Structure 1
């Protein structure tokens, strides 16, 4: 099974198959602007020689990039890079490549705006639909975030598990498919800043997540919505400040 964005970021795992290597390197180069919008990628012969792969592997890689909206093949013209408005930003690889080449405050703001658009609603739905077993699981995960032995990586994974459990408890299958956006936000937190770097903040983070579960347990939809909004906004402020500190 393919590793998620966060697990890959933490482990530093490298792409292994020839197909994945070609997709990864070309995708990252496109996101980085090495191949500008409207430009044509090098021909098949050149790319096959560069990556030391067969034409078949190269064609499959191009199909993958096209499916992600990054390129479009044109007969007798070549494979062109599409405008970023056509890129599938919900795609896990594309999100990973953005973080790999360097993100800015605008990107993080847009990402948090999307999270604010669906996660608070997921929390409200969880207050309506969650079973007692769901609530117990969410509480265990929220409490686990307060472990003083957390590293930045383990803290981010604990955070991810909690937020995915809320999507699951919402009972809405469409919301459950948006987990990659949460992962992307937490990749940003992991790479730029983490509460685990300041032990005094770990308990505060856990308490804020526990509050979400308490509101869900009370079946208070607006309370759950507000508690989730608070967690996302605090996380955004921490990461944006860290980004400003390094720029």
Structure 2
């Protein structure tokens, strides 16, 4: 997602197109997807590819096969929103303020605690690496893409420094969130804003270096809230209050 284009197989193409179609409402909740023959004609692939794609979509919670009925779109509360593909498809078809608020709320549930754990467990090598990554975010030559990648590297480094394997598993959620957010609105076009972004991230590292768990937690919360406010403003909505 952040590291450029990847090879597109027939399977991934079918999964991606159907996933986006489901999320966009072309196939609404409860609808039965077209049969194999129609899908084969639509995508120009074999029946084996179609069936493997359906298995992938089912594993993501988007559809469920029913004997003698067909493959149906499941209710949205069964979709695996921690799946990076599903998050990416949401951004591809368009998101609103409510979706972004929900996404930032779940980040607020994980990342501040990860920062607090990093303040407890990070080694000096971890801290030095996080500071280098934070400083790198201040490069005035950043494009939206390179700044998003630098931001991702920083947040994943914090997750790693937390020394909690469950934290690192939400990396795909963070990647999808940052990729989508930076596509909608990036501070890379404003050198002052780039400096502010770097300073806010350096503040997280400073609190981690001080072993101040509460301070690290608050600094991370601030970074997430600032990003959320920037996006809601870009979408023409009102900046939401505290989550």
Residues 1-247 of structure 1 aligned to structure 2 (within 5 Å): 5-7=1-3, 11=4, 13=5, 16-244=8-236
Per-residue deviation at 1:188? Answer: 2.5
* TM-score normalised per structure 2: 0.95
What RMSD in Å do the two structures reach over aligned CA positions? 1.1
Q: Deviations over 1:81-115 (max 9, x none)?
A: 00010000000110010000000000000000000
Q: Distance in 1 between matches of 2:149 and 2:19?
A: 25
* TM-score normalised per structure 1: 0.94
Aligned residues: 237
The gaps in structure 2 that reach 5 residues or longer are: 238-243
The answer to whether the 8 Å contact 1:109/1:236 transfers is yes
The gaps in structure 1 that reach 5 residues or longer are: none
Per-residue deviation at 1:22? Answer: 0.7
Q: Which 4+ stretches in 1 moved above 3 angstroms? A: none
The answer to whether the 8 Å contact 2:144/2:187 transfers is yes
Per-residue deviation at 1:184? Answer: 2.1
Q: Distance in 2 between matches of 1:6 and 1:238?
A: 20
3-state DSSP class of the match of 1:244?
A: coil
The answer to whether the 8 Å contact 1:6/1:186 transfers is no
Q: Deviations over 1:35-80 (max 9, x none)?
A: 0100100001111121111111111110000000000001111100
